């Protein structure tokens, strides 16, 4: 069973940066790149929304609210996915979840459009609090 573990959450001032990590310790390095993976976030009282995704082809997708501020990437050797968050705003405050799809044909753009229902595996989430 695929296991996802997030880390890197915490408090940061508006305008600052934070990097989230998501590891998949049970996944062999040679197969890690076959998963379409990404990040969702959920603020209190709001729906869970897609943030950024990267697919098996290396293509990425981003929500309009984070485009040009967030960057998703993968380290194939470390079997780790990252979400680099820059110029953070108070509205970015949320619990961030790492997720992955078992569908080998899932594209980053498709994952962004499908929302939570398009993912098969989830991490427990890590809280990011942006203060102003």
Cα–Cα distance, 96 to 118 (Å, whole number): 16
Token duo for residue 91: 């509205």
- Give the pLDDT confidence of 26-65 residue by residue, as tens digits: 766 666 667 789 999 999 999 999 999 999 889 999 999 9
Task: Report pLDDT digits (tens) over 57-111.
Answer: 899 999 999 999 999 998 877 788 999 999 999 999 999 999 998 888 999 999 9
Q: What is the pLDDT of residue 77?
A: 78
Helices then strands (H, E): number in the chain?
2, 11
Q: Give the model confidence (pLDDT) of 100-125 as tens digits.
A: 988 889 999 999 999 999 998 899 99
**31 by DSSP, 3-state: which?**
helix
């Amino acid at each position: 069973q695929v296991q996802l573990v997030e880390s890197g959450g915490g408090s940061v001032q508006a305008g600052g940066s934070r990097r989230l990590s998501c590891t998949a310790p049970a996944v062999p390095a040679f197969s890690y790149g076959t998963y379409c993976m990404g990040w969702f976030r959920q603020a209190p009282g709001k729906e869970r929304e897609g943030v950024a995704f990267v697919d098996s082809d290396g293509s990425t997708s981003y929500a309009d609210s984070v485009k040009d501020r967030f960057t998703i990437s993968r380290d194939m050797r470390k079997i780790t996915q990252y979400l680099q968050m820059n110029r953070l705003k108070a509205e970015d405050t949320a619990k961030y979840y790492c997720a992955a799809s078992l569908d080998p044909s899932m594209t980053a753009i498709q994952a962004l459009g499908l929302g939570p229902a398009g993912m098969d595996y989830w991490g427990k989430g890590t809280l990011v609090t942006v203060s102003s």
